[in-house]
Amino acid sequence: LNELIDEGVRGRYVLVRSDLNVPLDGSNVTDDGRIKASLPVIKALANAGARVLVSAHLGRPKGAPEAKYSLAPAVTRLAELAPELNATLAADTTGPAAQAAAAALADGSVLVLENVRFDARETSKVDGERAAFAAELAALTGDNGAYVDDAFGAVHRKHASVFDIAKALPSYQGDLVKTELEVLRKLTTESERPYVVVLGGSKVSDKLAVIDNLIGKADSILVGGGMLFTFLAAQGFKVGASLLEVDQIPVVQDYLARAAAAGTTFVLPTDIVVAAAFAADAANEVVPATDMEASSFGATGLGLDIGPETGAAFATAIAGAKTVFWNGPMGVFEFAAFAEGTRAVAAALAANSSNGGFTVVGGGDSASAVRSLGFEDAAFGHISTGGGASLEFLEGKELPGLVALER
Ligand code: 3PG
């Protein structure tokens, strides 16, 4: 980014791809972490006199405008956080409204283009379609424009505004992407041992490649969240009506068998909070993980959180680590009755951090979870803005957004 600013950007159009994909409650942003993380680059460019065009996605609309996926709430929050940027939202992405608003943009001001996923070409599998959309985005920058990729959370997407755009304009890496990569590199090649990984979230199928990659690299992998039930089932235990991916049982059995020989220990829950139903006020009981159907709900009980004994055991494992990576809530933290496991892990990471450990919270959901439970960002070594992106980086996969910049 400094390279671009040193070249001189006053009066030039700079298109910044940011990750403004924030959780919403109606028209309110419930976690503005990604907006705050996007501001430094936008501000640096605006302060240097650039006319900043921001492209971003929100949710997964199906290639056409849908009011509930408008970036309006994100832009309102951005304008509250940084009123000096005079940020406004264009009514379309590359159409007449965006073209007119871009033409009228003053030096040092910011125009956010409407959700790039309102155009089906953004995510098209056809190279030519994506290239055509990227060309329209590039055209908004006139004849001396530049592109900055600062959307770390989207670098794993081969989309027009992330991948193809880098062929259409002189391209630069944003500071958020740079920082995220520096941190995540410390978790791959340079991790200090003991290295403990905490994985949660609902589906094991989303985490297979990362687990596969961590076997032999992490000293321990602590398993919570909905995915833990597939691990319990893989060991032959009954899990009532809990989330279960039956087709992944053999895959998990293979991981468990390989891990010991590779020097990685899987730490599985010993107790579970089982509920009568998926509801905030559902009756619930703590039962042994090896006998989940022993609760009064029998085979209809749903595991919605790790139990207190497991929370304490995970905290002890985390306390002994020099490096900790955490992705995925331990339970249904949105319901207070099932948030204790996630809280215990967050508190353990924060304590480890203040004792000099290097702790990283990865993923939109985990970041929102720790913030909604009242933890400050500063309590952790790093809160990644990338969910899928940070996992794919740890998997060792090529990330299209980075490939495009290198090219
Ligand atoms: C995320 O939320 O992880 C990023 O914004 C990417 O969103 P996507 O998974 O819808 O591509």
Q: Average pLDDT in the 51-67 region?
A: 97
Q: Is the pLDDT of residue 188 over 90?
A: no
Ligand 1 centroid – CA 181 distance (Å) = 17
Between CA 361 and CA 116 the distance in angstroms is 27
* Whole-angstrom distance, CA of residue 138 vs CA of residue 161: 9
**Other CB atoms within 10 Å distance of the CB of residue 138:** 21
Q: Which atom of ligand 1 is nearest to the CA of 153?
A: 4
pLDDT band at residue 289, thresholds of 50, 70 and 90? very high
Residue 332 has pLDDT above 90, yes or no: yes
Dmax over CA atoms of the chain, in Å, equals 70
Q: Please report the atom of ligand 1 found closest to the CA of residue 60.
A: 10
SS3 327: strand
Q: Summarize the confidence of residues 32-42 as an average pLDDT.
A: 97
Q: Are 165 and 136 in contact (CB under 8 A)?
A: no
Active site residue 320: no
- Cβ–Cβ contacts within 10 Å for residue 347, how many? 17
Measured on CA atoms in the order 313, 318, 321, 323, is the torsion positive or negative? positive
Residue 266 and residue 402: Cα distance in Å, rounded? 32
Provide the CATH number for the domain formed by 180-394 in this structure. Answer: 3.40.50.1260
Q: How far apart are the first and last CA of the chain?
A: 17
Give the residue-averaged pLDDT of 281-298. 97
Angstrom distance (rounded) from CA 337 to CA 273 = 9
Mean per-residue pLDDT, 390-407: 91
pLDDT bracket for residue 3 (50, 70, 90): very high
321 HSE (CA, 13 A, CB side) = 29
Bridge partner residues of 173 (DSSP): 149
Nearest to 95 by CA among 70, 74, 116, 66: 116
153 lines ligand 1 (CB under 6 A): yes
How do strand 24-25 and strand 28-29 relate by DSSP bridges?
antiparallel
Q: Do domains 2-173 and 180-394 have the same CATH topology?
A: yes
CB 110 within 8 A of CB 87: yes
Domain ranges across the chain: 2-173, 180-394
Q: Write the residue with the smallest CA distance to atom 6 of ligand 1.
A: 154
Q: Does the beta carbon of 387 lie inside 6 Å of ligand 1? A: yes
**Cβ(388)–Cβ(382) below 8 Å:** no
pLDDT in tens, 239-271: 999 999 999 999 999 999 999 899 999 999 999
* pLDDT value at residue 372: 92
Q: What are residue 320's phi and psi, to 5 degrees?
A: -85, 5
Predicted complex: ipTM over 0.85: yes
Per the listing, tokens 């910044």 go with 16
Q: Are strands 323-327 and 110-112 parallel, antiparallel or unpaired?
A: unpaired
CATH class of 2-173: alpha beta
Compute, in angstroms, the gap from residue 59 CA to the centroid of ligand 1. Answer: 7
Strands 271-275 and 302-306: antiparallel
Residue 388 known to be catalytic: yes
In single-letter form, the type of residue at position 152 comes to F
Sequence-ordered list of residues with C-beta below 8 angstroms from that of 93, at least 6 positions apart, any chain? 55, 113, 114, 115, 116, 118, 119, 137
- From CA 132, how far away is CA 77, in angstroms rounded? 31
Site of tokens 């290639």: 63
One-letter amino acid at 208 equals L
Whether residue 59 has pLDDT greater than 90: yes
Catalytic residue among 34, 51, 77, 217: 34
109 CB neighbour count, 10 Å cutoff: 16
Both tokens of residue 236?
A: 């032959």
Closest CA to 68 of 78, 60, 79: 60
Show the CA angle centred on residue 347, arms to residues 341 and 352, nearest 5°: 130
**Tokens 């924060």 -> residue:** 350
